[in-house]
Chain A
C-alpha cells in the first residue's frame, strides 16, 4: 500500500470537475426547477382560494340583489294594484254619477214632455170646443174672447 501522488492529485481533480459539472447541470437546475414548481403550485392554490372567495362574495351580493329586486317587484305590483283598484272605483263612481245625471235629465225631459203634452191637449181641447161651439152657435163668435173663456174654464175644471 503505497501512495501514488499522481492518483491522489487526479482523484482530487476528478472530484472537483464532477462537483462543478453536477452542480451546474444537476443539483442547481433540478432544485430550482422543483422550487419553481412548488411555488407555482402554491400560487395556483392561493389564486384558486382567492377566486373562490370572490365568487362567494359575488354570490352573496347577487343573492341580496335578487332579493332586493324581488321586493321591489312586489312593491311595484302592490302599488299598481292599489292604483288599479282606485282607478276602477273612480270609474265606477263616475259611471254612477253619469247614470244618475242621465236619469235625472230623462226625468226632467219626461216631465217637460208631460207638461208640453198637457199644454197641447189643453190647446186642442180649446180648439176643439171652440170648433164645436162655432158649429153649434154659428159663425159669430169672437175668437179671441172665447179662447180666453174656454181656457179659464178648462183651468177651473182642472184638466
Chain B
C-alpha cells in the first residue's frame, strides 16, 4: 500500500523524472476525456439530441453550480471547476477498472490541492491587490497573524489528505473484501474464489461510485468556497 513504483524514467536538462503508475493512469484518463470531447465536438446541433443533451446538461449543471455557489462575479471559474469535477470524478472512478485510482496516491492529491491553493490566493490577490491581501492576514488584529497563516496553509493539506485518505481507505476496504471472499471460498472448498463474483458489486457501488463522487464533490465545493471567501475577506 502506498509504495511508489517508478515505471520509467527520463531526464530533461539534467533533471531526472521518474514516471509513476499514478501519472500514467492520469494520462489514460486525460486521453479518455479528450477523446470524448473530440467525439462530441462537431456534433452540436440546434436541436439537442442524444449525447448532446447530456453534454449540455453537464455544462449547464456546472455553470449553475458555480453561479449559485460563487456568484456571477466568479463565473469565469466555470471551466476550471468543471475540469476539476470531470477529472477528479474519473480519477476516483478509475478504481472500477480494477486498477488503483490515481487519487489513492498522495502525490496526486497534493498536486490537485496545490492547484486549488494557488488559485485561491491568486484570485484573492487579483481581486484585492497585494497590499490588501497581506493585510487580510492581520485580520481582525495583528496578533492573529500566525494563526491566519496556519489557517491558510492548512487548506491544501486538509484538502489533499481528505481526498487521499478517503480514496485510499475505499481501495483498502475493497481489497480486504476481495481477500476475505477469497479466504471464505477456500474454506468452503470451492476450488476457485467463486464468492468474489457478485458479492463485491454493492461494495464497489458504495466505495468506488458513491465515495468517489462524494469526494470529488467535497473537493470541488471546498475549492469554490475557499476561492470566494478568501477573495471576499
A positions within 8 Å CB-CB of B:
1-12, 14-19, 21-23, 25-31, 33-34, 37
Contact = CB atoms under 8 A, between A and B. Distances in A.
Interface in B19-62: 19-20, 22-23, 26-27, 30, 33-34, 37-38, 40-41, 44, 46, 55-56, 59-60, 62
Contacts of B186: none
Given A14-B27, A17-B30, A22-B83, A27 B111 contact: no
B79 A19 contact: yes
A10 B78 CA distance: 23
Given A6-B20, A8-B110, 4 more contacts: A14-B30, A22-B37, A26-B37, A34-B59
A53 B41 CA distance: 40
B18 interface: yes
B221 interface: no
Contacts of A15: 83-84, 87, 111-112, 115
A15 to B, nearest CB: 5
A25 to B, nearest CB: 5
Interface of B: 2, 4, 17-20, 22-23, 26-27, 30, 33-34, 37-38, 40-41, 44, 46, 55-56, 59-60, 62-63, 78-80, 82-84, 86-87, 105-108, 110-112, 114-115
Contacts of B44: 29-30, 33
A37 B47 CA distance: 9
Nearest to A12: B111
B111 A6 contact: no
29 contacts: A1-B106, A4-B105, A4-B107, A5-B107, A6-B17, A7-B22, A8-B110, A8-B114, A10-B23, A11-B22, A11-B23, A11-B26, A15-B83, A18-B30, A18-B34, A19-B80, A19-B83, A21-B34, A21-B37, A22-B82, A22-B83, A22-B86, A25-B37, A26-B55, A26-B59, A27-B78, A29-B44, A33-B44, A34-B56
A2 B111 CA distance: 13
A8 B59 CA distance: 28
B41 A25 contact: yes
Max chain B C-beta neighbours (<10 A), residue from A4, A12, A25, A34: A4
Contacts of A28: 79
**Top 9 nearest A-B pairs by Cβ distance?**
A11-B111, A7-B107, A23-B79, A27-B79, A8-B111, A19-B83, A30-B59, A4-B107, A10-B23
B83 to A, nearest CB: 4
Contacts of B60: 34
Given A15-B87, A22-B86, A30 B55 contact: yes
Contacts of A3: 106-107, 110
Contacts of B38: 25
Contact of B105 (A5, A7, A19, A27): A7
Contacts of A25: 37-38, 41
A31 B41 contact: no
B56 A4 contact: no
A136 to B, nearest CB: 140
A10 B4 CA distance: 14
